[in-house]
Amino acid sequence: MKPMRCPICDTPMPGNWQDYPDYPFCSKRCRTIDLGRWLNEEYRIVEAAPEEDRPPLPPPDEQE
Ligand SMILES: [Zn+2]
């Protein structure tokens, strides 16, 4: 059975996952980094949304 590795810093994590309170990360620091990346990705998606992708506004109703 090959040892687990931290997905953030690639540190080998021998033993059982139960030994790691921050599993699947090796430490609280890596957990925080992962969370930060995830949040940054979310923000980037929102900010990068081109205006063309927004649904067009309905035409103004000029009839009376
Ligand atoms: Zn790590």
Query: What spacing in Å lies between the alpha carbon of 5 and ligand 1's midpoint?
Result: 8
Q: What local confidence, expressed as pLDDT, does residue 30 receive?
A: 97
Class of 4-49 per CATH?
alpha beta
pLDDT in tens, the chain (64 residues): 788 999 999 999 999 999 999 999 999 999 999 999 989 888 776 666 666 667 777 888 877 6
15: left (phi over 0), alpha (psi -120 to 50) or beta: left
Domain range list for the chain: 4-49
Helix or strand run (H / E) with residue 41: helix 28-48
Annotated binding site for Zn(2+): 6, 9, 26, 30
Query: What spacing in Å lies between the alpha carbon of 43 and ligand 1's midpoint?
Result: 24
